Structure 1
């Protein structure tokens, strides 16, 4: 390079090309009506301009992603979360990704009115995750405790209870019971629930009094399941249809944040010391009624699973047109390749009581025996060597490099699927259906 490495990265010719191409897109869009009112020719012109700008961004990041990350993180001295990295990158190289203000404004729009700015973010995140320098650092940043959890921790340690809007956490006999309580939507996840779930998982991992984590759904008020416990109905399709599911703060945060913490533990200052000990604890999933979509992904992240006899497991993301998080990677740990394709590609439901149910559920009991079965599983997981062995099992089954490679590809593929015509059509149809909340994924 002819430029000094001390120069701001925005001074590089490739960075200036990114900014100029993005400005051309903005100038074109400013002359046109909103996305929903554009003619076919106008949509094609915008698509071509965006492709040109994204090609410049991709070329820039192939060469300079590590330098950009070093600039925004102080040469990796600061641990920024994905949303913070994207916001800092938008300032460092204007036009590379949308600013935080533009992201927030777009989140308030219905899908048909969105410009698809998530795709620009996905290109950046994918390049950062693919790098052996920036990827592990970003993943470590996402597995550090949140500021919210640290602020709540003293009171949680004192009382053993945390009441969040979407989740209640209660410590009993060394186990943190996380009860998902979005009773109106069958625990279908949205941005707010992901925020609460990460806080709850952090509290369980941080509290010295907690040795085992338990995930369970609360009692529902939804007409179809009133008075019954439900584990999770997956992503909230009504929020997705309204455009209120954030790419960074939901789809990426969920996988890199609280679910990664369940599987691989919470990172901290001494992780690289010879005696560094990532905060890990065993997790038990308790499945009442069903685990659909994102709920099924949670089941795959846990060490032991207790299920009600009438419960079922389902990952219908392909029918909805999206990717079921890290479910494609983790399903192969418990199922054959053929069964995985039946579940993900063909939408097969696996009942707890059928023979293949044994692949997903460790204990299957009648509803009236669930509490006793959960207590037995907690006691089984509360043994001195469990943490070390589950850590080694997870390293063997999901090595960090494989996990990182999967997420790098997921970042782009999921963003592209979100703006496909078939997804918009299906999500609108699902959201209009009376039983939509029960068939989310």
Structure 2
């Protein structure tokens, strides 16, 4: 073994070598100098940022892929990323509004999150990951990624901190998603819309939205988030519909096979495999379909403001994580006897969406902390369930309870009053300020060592369970 190879691999007994002296390893790149401070001129600062981040990427490319790095090389990669991120933050601190104006033609265009990030990668090189970097990340499991999501989080966090850019971006995401108009035509023709993971059916004045991610207990993944935004758009755009109803469909999991389940929250297998999109899922769900349900749907050039309608949730079995977060924006929650709600995000290591913003309004501060920080489950028999669930009924009575809720909420003044309640409870500036910090914190959390380790353990347990079940079937 050559001395250079020995430095890369570690000591002969397999321990990673830690260079305690001042000299770097022979094959390690030199550290990246601090970027020059921005001068306040957009063009000049854009050029400086591009040069600095390009040098950082050049030095990063000299290192092995993340899973093959020694401890020292991992620290060097972290230092390179940190130096580039410090430059991006300094740039955005001065130019967030100017950047947004450049990307939206002075706020006359309405690019969605993914379109905005893609445009920024071309107009301001080095500010956010480009298409090639994102494509490379998509092919890696979460633990092997470089963490490009963090750079996207910094970008959107800076935009959302701005009252001008942030408000415009939130309003943009309240507009109908691409393709929703075509799906509305289909729904009006047949009173039924089948999407890959969601079914929408009109029954009188109600539109019933059913989650159909049966293979994973109706857990959330990129596909379900996209389909739910389309479904919510269709419900809000169809003037024959007065009330939306959400419910989980039957699942195929061995323990619950054939039974309805509301939602198991984020799909941890997908998170581990790197298939959960930061922009499309973790940020997009909050600014997209959930915010539309809460605040209403905007229509470009419409003089009538947002279209708001009441929503009913029917909880079979459980509403975990994102499922429970969803209940916090609904107007009526009905649960079967024995169901439970939980927000296990602290145990998983991530932030439970906007649960931290909204839960306290329902439960008060102390109970909210118990649920979010300690993972307390709220069962239907728990006195605290009255703060989150309007009605608990036997499973056989859920359909009738949902129909009664639709009748109760179909009145013409309900939509206007729920919109005013949302305005009082969650002013737009409060939402914007929370989302700005959430974008940054969540991007860091999904790449933190504890989250990666927990995702790997969950995946290993799930894989072992699947193998055991397969072995058992083969034996019989």
TM-score (norm: length of structure 1): 0.94
Q: How far does the alpha carbon of each residue in 1:47-95 deviate from its partner, in whole angstroms, 9 at most, with x for none?
A: 1121111111111111111111111111111101111111111111111
Shift of 1:18: 1.4
Shift of 1:397: 0.8
Which of 184, 195, 205 lines up with 2:226 in the alignment?
A: 195
Q: How far does the alpha carbon of each residue in 1:107-143 deviate from its partner, in whole angstroms, 9 at most, with x for none?
A: 2211122110011111110110010110011011111
Shift of 1:270: 3.8
d(CA) in 1 for partners of 2:464 and 2:343?
15
User: What is the aligned partner in structure 1 of residue 300 from structure 2?
Assistant: 269
Secondary structure of 2:312's aligned partner: strand
Q: How far does the alpha carbon of each residue in 1:13-46 deviate from its partner, in whole angstroms, 9 at most, with x for none?
A: 2212211221122111221110111111111112
d(CA) in 2 for partners of 1:435 and 1:215?
31
Which of 221, 236, 260 lines up with 2:267 in the alignment?
A: 236
1:272-421 equivalences under 5 Å are: 273=303, 276-421=304-449
Structure 2 residue runs of 5 or longer lacking an equivalent are: 1-37, 466-476
d(CA) in 1 for partners of 2:294 and 2:314?
16
Secondary structure of 1:147's aligned partner: coil
User: What is the aligned partner in structure 2 of residue 100 from structure 1?
Assistant: 131
Residue 4 and residue 48 in structure 1: after superposition, are their counterparts in 2 closer, same or farther (change >3 A)? closer
CA contact (8 A) 1:430 1:436 kept: no
Matching of residue 162 in structure 1 with residue 193 in structure 2: yes
Which of 29, 47, 70 lines up with 1:39 in the alignment?
A: 70
d(CA) in 2 for partners of 1:309 and 1:48?
53
Residue 3 and residue 235 in structure 1: after superposition, are their counterparts in 2 closer, same or farther (change >3 A)? closer
CA contact (8 A) 2:40 2:94 kept: no
Moved more, 55-64 or 104-113: 104-113
User: What is the aligned partner in structure 2 of residue 152 from structure 1?
Assistant: 183
User: What is the aligned partner in structure 2 of residue 71 from structure 1?
Assistant: 102
Shift of 1:101: 3.4
Matching of residue 175 in structure 1 with residue 206 in structure 2: yes
d(CA) in 2 for partners of 1:421 and 1:50?
16
Secondary structure of 1:433's aligned partner: helix
Residue 421 and residue 3 in structure 1: after superposition, are their counterparts in 2 closer, same or farther (change >3 A)? closer
d(CA) in 2 for partners of 1:44 and 1:178?
47
Shift of 1:258: 0.4
CA contact (8 A) 1:188 1:235 kept: yes
Moved more, 41-50 or 355-364: 41-50
Residue 384 and residue 122 in structure 1: after superposition, are their counterparts in 2 closer, same or farther (change >3 A)? same
CA contact (8 A) 2:175 2:300 kept: no
Which of 238, 242, 245 lines up with 1:214 in the alignment?
A: 245
* RMSD (CA atoms): 1.7
Matching of residue 113 in structure 1 with residue 113 in structure 2: no
CA contact (8 A) 1:270 1:277 kept: no
Which structure has the bigger radius of gyration?
2
Matching of residue 60 in structure 1 with residue 91 in structure 2: yes
Q: How far does the alpha carbon of each residue in 1:330-352 deviate from its partner, in whole angstroms, 9 at most, with x for none?
A: 10111011100100000000001
d(CA) in 1 for partners of 2:333 and 2:97?
40
Which of 282, 294, 300 lines up with 1:251 in the alignment?
A: 282
Secondary structure of 2:247's aligned partner: strand
Q: How far does the alpha carbon of each residue in 1:359-415 deviate from its partner, in whole angstroms, 9 at most, with x for none?
A: 110010000111110000010110111011100111111111000000000000001
CA contact (8 A) 1:17 1:56 kept: no
User: What is the aligned partner in structure 1 of residue 33 from structure 2?
Assistant: none
Q: How far does the alpha carbon of each residue in 1:149-199 deviate from its partner, in whole angstroms, 9 at most, with x for none?
A: 112111111111000111000000110100001111010011111011111
CA contact (8 A) 1:168 1:179 kept: yes
Matching of residue 132 in structure 1 with residue 163 in structure 2: yes
Secondary structure of 1:262's aligned partner: helix
CA contact (8 A) 2:39 2:45 kept: no
CA contact (8 A) 1:129 1:138 kept: yes
Structure 1 residue runs of 5 or longer lacking an equivalent are: none
CA contact (8 A) 2:60 2:80 kept: no
d(CA) in 1 for partners of 2:201 and 2:347?
36
